[in-house]
């Protein structure tokens, strides 16, 4: 009777061991699948061409461009990933030079780059806002030399990120918007919060202050180009 009892116990133990082993393998495979899916969804996007990268970041759904319209004026803020700056400086001969690519990535990755575009009826500000020659001259001066006092970038905790530089190229009415590039030092500690605030004081357009929120996750996992 003992032998029979022990044998039955052994068979029952084997049965549950096999069941547990199958369950563990199944759950393990599902867990690994979830991890892989999560990893792919959080990984950095890569693109073969500059056009593909631009198409991606100019799609509002991807979080790299923020837009707002007030009093007939359209404001658009585009975050420019490091590799766009790198691509512009690389010559055709250097696009296969990994050392040169790394050198430029290290150079441009020290800053954050934003393109602020402003327009009315698909025209530049200078083509629509000034009412006379004096106003035209004042606005040219403000766009070329005074935007450092009109634009601000700060965290949710109100920590200000000081402007390093801004570039305003005059387009003489040949563009559909007035576009200025703003450059800020990159500090990873200031990218820990959910978003950055980018504000534009009223430029005499009767819009009041314009505030745009930039998600920091898009900056931390910015897309790259494949060379």
pLDDT-based confidence at 172, cuts 50/70/90? confident
Please list, residue by residue across 20-42, b when 16 or more beta carbons sit within 10 angstroms of its beta carbon and e when fewer do.
Answer: eeeeeeeeeeeeeeeeeeeeeee
Q: What would the pLDDT profile of 17-40 be if each residue is shown by its tens digit?
A: 555 455 545 544 444 444 444 443
Beta bridge partners of 185: 111
Mean local confidence (pLDDT), 39-55: 82
- Contacts of 118 by beta carbon, 8 Å cutoff, 6+ apart: 73, 74, 75, 76, 125, 177, 178, 179, 203
Identify the pLDDT of residue 107: 97
**Separation between Cα atoms, residue 147 and residue 85, nearest integer Å:** 22
- Kindly state the percentage of the chain with pLDDT values over 90: 76
Identify the pLDDT of residue 6: 52
Q: Is 133 helix (H, G, I), strand (E, B) or coil?
A: helix
**Separation between Cα atoms, residue 137 and residue 206, nearest integer Å:** 18
The answer to whether residue 110 scores a pLDDT higher than 80 is: yes
Query: Can you list the alpha helix ranges (DSSP code H) found in 72-129?
Result: 82-89, 98-108, 125-128
**Separation between Cα atoms, residue 170 and residue 21, nearest integer Å:** 70
Q: What would the pLDDT profile of 52-106 be if each residue is shown by its tens digit?
A: 999 999 999 999 999 999 999 999 999 999 999 999 999 989 989 999 999 999 9
Identify the pLDDT of residue 36: 40
Identify the pLDDT of residue 78: 98
**Separation between Cα atoms, residue 210 and residue 68, nearest integer Å:** 8
């Amino acid at each position: 009777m003992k032998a029979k009892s022990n044998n039955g116990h052994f068979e029952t133990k084997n049965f549950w061991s096999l069941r547990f082993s199958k369950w563990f393998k199944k759950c393990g495979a599902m867990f690994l699948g979830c991890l892989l899916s999560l990893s792919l969804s959080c990984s950095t996007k890569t693109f073969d061409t500059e056009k593909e990268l631009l198409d991606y970041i100019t799609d509002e759904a991807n979080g790299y461009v923020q837009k707002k319209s007030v009093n007939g004026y359209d404001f658009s803020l585009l975050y420019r990933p490091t590799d766009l700056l790198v691509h512009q400086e690389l010559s055709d001969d250097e696009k296969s030079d990994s050392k040169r690519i790394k050198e430029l990535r290290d150079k441009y990755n020290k800053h954050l780059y934003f393109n602020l575009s402003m327009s009315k009826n698909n025209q530049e500000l200078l083509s629509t806002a000034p009412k006379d020659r004096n106003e035209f001259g004042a606005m040219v001066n403000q766009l070329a030399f005074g935007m450092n006092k009109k634009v601000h970038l700060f965290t949710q905790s109100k920590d200000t990120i000081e402007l390093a530089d801004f570039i305003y190229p005059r387009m003489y009415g040949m563009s559909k918007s007035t576009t200025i590039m703003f450059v800020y030092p990159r500090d990873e500690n200031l990218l820990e919060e959910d978003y950055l605030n980018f504000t534009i004081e009223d430029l005499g357009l009767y819009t009041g202050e314009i505030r745009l929120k930039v998600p920091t996750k898009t900056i931390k996992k910015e897309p790259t180009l494949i060379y």
